[in-house]
Amino acid sequence: MNPQKLQETFLSDKAKTLLHHPQGMGNYFTFKSAVDILGLSWDELLPNGIYNVTGKGYYDMGYMANLIGPPESAVEAMKKHCTIDELKVYPPDCLPELKKLVAEQKFGRTLGDDFTVLGVEGAQGGIGYTYMAFLDPGDEVITTDPAYFHFVPGAQINGAIIKPIKLGPHNGYKLNPAEVEAAITPKTKMIVVCDPINPFGVVATKEELLAIADIARKNNVLIFNNVTHNTHRTSETAEQIPMARLHTPETPMDHVISVSGISKGYGMPALRVGFMAGHPALIRGAFLLKMETTKIHINYPGQYAAYAAMNDHAYVERSTEIIRRNYKHIEETVNATDGVTIPVKPEYGFCMIIDVEGTGVSAQEIACGLLNHNIAAITGDGLGDVGATTYIRLNYSHPDIECFETFRKALPLAIAEAKTGKYRQAVIDFFAKTETERGKKIIEILKKQA
């Protein structure tokens, strides 16, 4: 039986939804696509099948791993708890002391009858369990465009209908309460509030969060508040507020599910430790679904590492200094490059967008040129329709300043190469193979640029 027939015969409708989804893995353009176009060696750039570029001389500004890496305190804690006695047992879903720390530090709450924390496999696990626990076919989900890769397809495989709110200068590149209220219908079940927002790094104000919470409460709508990028403050003046922290008798937040992890804040994506929190009555449903899918247990030594990292405040201070330094370097580079802009200055995390519309060539072609000059980056088509061919998302957490010196040299060279058209047909061929509707639109844009 040929591959297509096998898929048609045996795959579930959920899996089939992702085969030609514009945000299905492999259907959007990344530096991995550029590896093939340039004829580079996967083994040299991404040894052992890892997802980050670590090849000698190359720098990864693509996937959102915290490249500063974990604090030494976390590594030592994990080593200490890699014992026979601790590895041979089923661990708790979340250590009691870790659960308490996460509730207070990440979500601004205390554990009690109205708030609890569930350990999950990274923030990504929290996304999946939130959708599984609360969405039914036909439910509407309000999210942004652009948005993190998995917010849209994760909801759609559970039968939800996406109601996107396009981000731009008109709303400050974040959810505007008036636009949220206008998008509400009797079928609305959930509002995704990613704050700080991936990919722009901006944060909502307290007033905006309270307004969105009030709109949701009045309409019996659940809020999914993802705060996984809230550890490092790029701006010295911005303040990120977890929605759970706003809980009072006057403004109850029982309708808010909060998610975070340790990958972005503490440089430990390999451990797959994250947290999902909210009212125990709601978290109970997620717990039961988790029990029947992946079981309740997450990395035991990793939980000790997370606890140590979250108590290592000196690490956060040092890593924040590095991230702020890196952003300033990128800002200088962009300001010196014709046709490239930063649409909005990031306030938290290490995730940002550069807009290359003014160059007259696509982000995908420029990404090929960047990798040709040792910089790995990801383009906007995996994030949404907005900026699909004009946005490049950058990770600016690399501790080595040489990464940003290399980017400074690579960006104008990549643009010049893209303008020759040398990568255009290969990019068109990539999207033709994906057979996605977004890919077809991108092909038309590229053909017009030729």
Q: Do 320 and 399 share a domain, yes or no?
A: yes
Per-residue model confidence as pLDDT tens digits over 141-180: 999 999 999 999 999 999 999 999 999 999 999 999 999 9
Mean pLDDT for the chain overall: 95
Q: Do 371 and 233 share a domain, yes or no?
A: no
Q: Do 227 and 264 share a domain, yes or no?
A: yes
pLDDT surpasses 90 at 50: no
Give the end of a domain, one of 310, 337, 362.
310
Q: Do 405 and 332 share a domain, yes or no?
A: yes
pLDDT score recorded for residue 294: 85
pLDDT score recorded for residue 48: 80
Instruction: Name, in order, each residue with C-beta under 8 angstroms of 438's C-beta and a sequence gap of 6 or more.
Output: 22, 381, 385, 388
Q: Do 13 and 153 share a domain, yes or no?
A: no
Pairing, β 161-166 against β 59-60: unpaired
Q: What is the CATH number of the domain that holds 347?
A: 3.90.1150.10
pLDDT surpasses 90 at 90: no
Cα–Cα distance for residue pair 373/17, rounded to 1 Å:
36
Q: Do 58 and 89 share a domain, yes or no?
A: no
pLDDT score recorded for residue 1: 81
Q: What percent of the chain has pLDDT over 70?
A: 100
As for how many domains the chain has, the answer is: 2
Name the burial class of residue 28, with classes exposed (0-12), middle (13-18) and buried (19+) by CB atoms within 10 angstroms of its CB. Answer: buried
